[in-house]
Amino acid sequence: MVNTAYRNIVDALDEVDPHRSFARIKATLARILRDINPRVEVVTTSYFNHTHVPDMVVRWPREPDLDDRYVYLRTAVDVADLLHDMQYLSRESRPLIIALGALEQSEGSRELHNLCLERQALVLDLGALSALTPGVEGSSLGRLVSNAVVEGGRGVLSERDAANLASTVTSGVRAAPLGDRQATDRAIEAASVNMMPSAARRMTAFLATLWQGGGSPVTALRRVPSYSQDLDESALAYLLESEEIGDVEFWDRITQRTSFSQLLQLPTLSADNLQQLMQRAVRVWGARACAVVPNSIETARYRVPSWRWSVDSGNLTLHAPRFSVHVAQKKAQLNIHAEYALPEIDVVRERVSLMQLRLRAITLLNRGEKAVYEGKGQDVLRGSQLHHLGEVLGPGAVVKEIDTWTRTGVALRCSFVSRTASARAPRGDVPLDELIDTSVGLFADLSSDDVGRFADMVPTHTDIDVQLRANLPELPEA
C-alpha cells in the first residue's frame, strides 16, 4: 500500500544532500504522528540514524501516565542490523524503530520480534507505516488504531501485519456493540499480542465497554478481561472519538458507567459521540459550577459550531450562537475573569419569575451603597421588602448576586458580576440540566430561534412556555 506519506519519505531518501534528506524525513514523520493524534508533542533531535540517541521523541503532555516514546530511524533494514541496535536501546524509552525500507523475513526475524516484546519496542517498516496512516485521512476508527499502535504497539509489524491488526481491531470495535463475540474476541487477542500491557488493557476496556453498552454481559466473551473493565479516561476518549453510535440505549448504559469528572479529564474534543453521550448525560450527571460567556468576549482555543458540546481545559462547554456555557466541578476551574454590567432589579425579577425560581437572598448596589436582604427561609420575591429596599437605595439600584433554590431544591449562588452559578456548601453536585438551564435563564439573552434549540440540548422540567424567554428584558451589554 503506497500513500502520500510513503512517497514523501522515499523521495526524501533520494536527496543528494543528506542533511536535507534527514530533515525532510523527520518533518514528514512528525506530521504523520501529529495527524494521527493532534495532541502529541513531537520533538526532533539533531541526530539521524544514531545507535542509541533518538531521532525524535513523542510525548503526550496531557496524559501524564503515558511515558515518552523514543523514535529511531534506520536506513538499514536488515534484521541482523536491527538485532544489533536493539542491545543499545533501553526498555524505559519504549523504542519505536522505523526502518526506512521493506523488512525481509530471515532467520533472525522471530528473535527480533521476541526481543521487541521483551524491550517494549516496536519495529515498523515503511509499508507498515503506510498501512497505518490511511486512518489519518479516513475513518476515526483508523485513527484510533493508528494512535493505539503509536502509544503502545510492540513487536515487529510488516505491512501485512499492520494491515491485519488494523482490520482486526476495527472489525472488533464495530462488532462489539452488536454482540458479535468472535470478532470482539479476535480484537481483544490482537491487542494483547501486539500492544504493551497498559495499552492492551485500555483497548480491552474500550472493547468491553462497547460490548456491554450493546447489552451483552462481559462474561459471555471468551477472553474475559481479568481486570476491571471500567472506562478510564483514555478508553473513554477512544469511545468518543470512534465512529458515531446512534443507539440511545447504548449511551444510557455508558452514562451509568462513566462520570462528569472523568469527562473533564479528556483532552480537547467535540466528537459526534460526545454529542450522543451528552444527550443522555445532561439528564443524569451533576456538576457544581457554571458560567455563561457572551461570544463577544469568548476566548475559546478553537472554533466549534453552534449547538454543539465540547470538552477543553477541564470544562464542558455548550456552544450557542451568541454565548457559550461552561460547566466545571469548581467555580475556580471556570477561569472566568471578566466582570459585567449589572442588571436592574426589575430585569432580575422578571427572569427569576419566568424560571419559577425562589430567592433566598439578594445583594443590591447603588452608587457605592450595598444592601443585602435575606428571606429567612421565605421567597424574597413574595413580600414587599424587596420593593422597599429598592426605594431606599434609590433609582438605578442594580443586582450584584442572588441566592436561589432550583426547582428541585438545590441552593445556588448566582453572581451577575461574573455571570456564574455555583452550588452552596455543603450541597453536592447540582443536576446538569438544572444548573445549565438556571444559568442560561439568568445570564443569557435568547432569540426566538435559540430557545427551541436550547431546549433540545438541555431539556427543562417546567410547564413554562420556552418561547417566552425570547421576550425577556435584555441584560446590560457585556
Quote the pTM value: 0.80
Instruction: Name residue 415's beta-bridge partners.
Output: 401, 420
- pLDDT of 136 higher than 50: no
Residue 185 Cα distances to 61, 181, 216, 433, angstroms: 32, 6, 13, 38
Report whether 138 contacts 156 (CB < 8 A). Answer: no
Q: 3-12, 284-293, 333-342, 445-454 — which is least confidently predicted?
A: 3-12
From 114-128, 219-233, 301-315, 412-426, the region with the lowest mean pLDDT: 219-233
pLDDT in tens, 354-375: 888 888 888 989 887 888 888 7
Q: What is the CATH number of domain 4-157?
A: 3.40.91
pLDDT for 132: 86
Question: Between residues 387 and 402, which one has the greater pLDDT?
Answer: 402
* Listed range (6-20, 128-142, 258-272) with the worst mean pLDDT: 128-142
Tell me: pLDDT of 465 over 80: no
Domain coordinates in residue numbering, the chain: 4-157, 319-327+332-471
> Looking at residue 48, what is its pLDDT?
80
Task: Measure the CA–CA gap between 213 and 110, rounded to whole angstroms.
Answer: 39
Distance, in Å, from the CA atom of 116 to the CA atom of 128, rounded to the nearest integer, reads 16
Contacts of residue 179, Cβ cutoff 8 Å, sequence gap at least 6:
211, 214, 215, 216, 220
The per-residue pLDDT for 301 is 46
Q: Which of 275, 284, 214, 274 is nearest to 249 (CA)?
A: 214
Using pLDDT thresholds of 50, 70 and 90, give the confidence band for residue 295: confident
* pLDDT of the residue at 435: 94
